[in-house]
Structure 1
Amino acid sequence: MVSHRAAVAVVFVVNGGLYGAWAARVPALASQVQAEPAGLGLALLGPSIAMIVTAPLAARACAAWGARRVIVAALAAACLALPLVGLAGSPLTLGLALAGLGGLMGTVDVAMNVAAVAVVRELGRPLMPFFHAGFSAGGLLGSLGAALAAALSVAPAAHFCFVTAAGLLALLCTGRGLPGERPEKEQQHTGGGFRNVLVRKRLWLLAAVALCAAVAEGTCAEWSALFLVREREVTEAVAATAYSVFSVTMALTRLVGERVEARFGPYRVLAGSGLVAACGLTASAAVPAGAVAYAGFALAGAGLAFCFPVAMALAGDAGRREDGSGGERELGFVTTVAYAGFLGGPPLVGGVASLTSLTVSIGLVGLLTALITPTALAVRGSRRKSRQPSAERQLQQAGRGGDGPA
């Protein structure tokens, strides 16, 4: 049977491949449904909203049934839903199909992070960046396949059927190797429900880290090319490669994430990564040179590579139960906040740019990203404080029998 690590890595790759496949065919889908920019924008809003809605539900499902069952069911459904996107005949049906696909992929996203945390606990190795590198690699493979399909004039529906077959085959070969057995009943509700999650300072701090990282990543994805064209006078053909530079740098950096995190620890890595990403974005905005902007976006990719996966690992650790499972609701909460950043960040950047300029917007995002560093240090401080009461209780119990503590 496939190992837990390999099975989870395959799920990350497949989920990234699904995203890369449909996202890269948006121009063909827009022509197919004859969508105007406004209608297409509304259609593309559907998957983001669906992911925000389904993330906490997916967390509850993982807590009740185990990550393995949720991954297998949701990923199989997502693969089967992809061709429906290619069959859309109007902006409305395209939006509905994308919303359904987005909800399923969001469910997989939460469940695969829960499974990844289980592997990290099982092996005692900081593998979250490695798993997220799989998602980046899958997105790259999906987009390259989409580029080939477009070059060969393959219709989106036919192209998506091939992706579906590949995804289902990968799931069939690795599904049984996924971790995430259903927790024992007495362990499922240990630590309280979702309300208990909302009152924990540590989780809000981790959510803030994920939010800042999501805004920065969304900004690089949606505004880097236009920034280079308008503010740095780079040709459109050259500017189009900016996000590729960002993505490749992020993927390669994540591949060495285990060594870096094992050497410096998650909190130092998180704090340092925020600083590196902030320096990259700030340099891109402050120095009026195209080459510096490219280097800045590459630096941002290297910094942001660790932020989301390390925040996910720490969120899962915050909800660990006595039997070694747990963290589903915590991961769901942090993921939901991060999705909100992906959804709302880029439009806010555009709004600021309309009032000032894209240079100012990118610079402000750089300052926002710099907040990851003090927030990561605050997360470490909150962890130490959370341990203090239990230690005090142990001392008090040891000193019982007298008038006061020993």
Structure 2
Amino acid sequence: MRGRLALGGYFFLHGAVSSSWLSAMTMFISRFASPDSLGAGIMVGLVVLLGVALAPLGMPLGAWLVGRWGARRVAVASAVAAGLVLGGSAFVGSLGVLALAMVGLALANGALLVAMNLLAAGVERESGRLFLPWCHGLLALGGLVGVLLAVQRISAHVPQIEQLLWTAAVSVALAVGLAKSLPDGEIEDIRPRMPQHFAMLAVLAFAAGVAADVVPRSASWRLEIAVGAISLRGEHALALGMAVGGLAGGLVAARIGVRNLLNASAGLTALGLVWLLLVGDTAASLGGFLVTGLGLACVFPVALSLAAARGSARHAIAALSVIGYVGTLSGTQLTAWLSYLLDVRFQLAYVLVVPVVVVVAGTVLSRGSAPAPR
């Protein structure tokens, strides 16, 4: 139990740090770009975003390192490295060095995600019960807490360099403090190949990533036109729904099975999306965000769990992590492109394909030879 709580702490910490450190972007823009140079400001912003956009490159690196050093060592080293790079970036004096720091941060975070997911998959294999949704629920909860803390610090006019250093110091201290309690069981690849039905798992991971990014942005755009901006509140409700759904996912799966869990996820996602499409009232729309988050919460972690149970865990989890992350990054661009083709009221309509994908995936994957943990 202690090892599981420590691993949950790592997921929570990663979510909190990842969602809060970008609040310091204006500090970098003011440092490296003059106030009257819009182009320079955009360039600095793009450099800072490298710390997010290049994380998929660190995921296969993380899988390779886990094969050499083990998931526990890679998780600790990556978490500490990410914190140190984040803190050091507060003192960089040139845009080139900042770019290198952001690349290092992205690689460390990518490797960390793969190592943490592999540790969680190892817990699942030892216990025979679904554990990854609980971990990803804590990841979503950490992201929500990180956003709220960042907003609070900004409202209190805390200097951004102080915010960044505080975030980095806390992340390193907690990563080191929890290191000895992490699970020490290493998951072994039961097959030296990608899992059965990998294409279906990949579609499931990509669809979940796109939906998690598109829903708050598209619905917020529509509601902004209808009743005023509620983007932040919508994202809060979605994150809360994903946190609650993830934390409860393992218990639900133990009672109804993984296939029925996916079916329930599809139903809740469809209900939430229709809710957001039809309801224009701000307060009522928050319920749509919450229900959609409940539905999406378990889709991606269940895909990871199924992949780890059916093939080469290291390579499968790294590949699905890349696919899901790319889906999240591409969601906004996909919505922007479709906004030219669809009326703003129906920007969310195409996301209704996600529940269909989840149901089909649950049907296909339930026929696999290796059962998922309950």
TM-score range relative to shorter protein: 0.7 to 0.9
Percent of residue pairs identical: 27
Provide the secondary structure at the position in 2 that maps to 1:14: helix
Larger radius of gyration: 1
Summarize the Cα distance change of 1:182–1:122 in structure 2 as closer, same or farther, 3 Å threshold: closer
**Structure 2: stretches of 5+ with no match in the other structure:** none
Aligned residues: 366
1:191 equivalent in structure 2: 191
The answer on 1:224 being equivalent to 2:224 is no
Q: What pairs up with 1:46-61 in 2 under 5 angstroms?
A: 46-61=50-65
**What is the aligned counterpart of 2:154 among 150, 153, 173?**
150
**What is the aligned counterpart of 1:106 among 110, 133, 141?**
110
Q: What pairs up with 1:77-96 in 2 under 5 angstroms?
A: 77-87=81-91, 94-96=98-100
Taking the aligned partners of 1:152 and 1:64, their CA distance within structure 2 comes to: 45
1:163 equivalent in structure 2: 167
User: Residue 246 of structure 1: CA displacement?
Assistant: 1.0
User: Residue 267 of structure 1: CA displacement?
Assistant: 1.7
The answer on 1:258 being equivalent to 2:250 is yes
> Does the Cα contact within 8 Å between 2:51 and 2:102 map onto a contact in 1?
yes
Taking the aligned partners of 2:218 and 2:100, their CA distance within structure 1 comes to: 26
User: Residue 77 of structure 1: CA displacement?
Assistant: 0.2
1:378 equivalent in structure 2: 364
Provide the secondary structure at the position in 2 that maps to 1:125: coil
Output the aligned Cα RMSD. 2.6
> Does the Cα contact within 8 Å between 1:85 and 1:157 map onto a contact in 2?
no
The answer on 1:127 being equivalent to 2:127 is no
C-alpha deviations, 1:173-201, integer Å up to 9, x for none? 22122224567xxx66x632xxx32xx54
One-letter amino acid of the counterpart of residue 293, structure 2: G
Taking the aligned partners of 2:91 and 2:52, their CA distance within structure 1 comes to: 20
Provide the secondary structure at the position in 2 that maps to 1:302: helix
Summarize the Cα distance change of 1:28–1:249 in structure 2 as closer, same or farther, 3 Å threshold: farther
Q: What pairs up with 1:334-345 in 2 under 5 angstroms?
A: 334-345=320-331
> Does the Cα contact within 8 Å between 1:245 and 1:298 map onto a contact in 2?
yes
Worse overlay, 145-154 or 130-139: 145-154
TM-score by structure 1 length?
0.81
C-alpha deviations, 1:255-286, integer Å up to 9, x for none? 22222111111121123212321332233224
Taking the aligned partners of 1:101 and 1:80, their CA distance within structure 2 comes to: 9
2:270 equivalent in structure 1: 278
One-letter amino acid of the counterpart of residue 81, structure 1: V
1:304 equivalent in structure 2: 296
> Does the Cα contact within 8 Å between 2:137 and 2:243 map onto a contact in 1?
yes
The answer on 1:235 being equivalent to 2:228 is yes
Summarize the Cα distance change of 1:378–1:27 in structure 2 as closer, same or farther, 3 Å threshold: farther
> Does the Cα contact within 8 Å between 2:227 and 2:280 map onto a contact in 1?
no
TM-score by structure 2 length?
0.88
> Does the Cα contact within 8 Å between 1:67 and 1:179 map onto a contact in 2?
no
**Structure 1: stretches of 5+ with no match in the other structure:** 320-325, 388-406
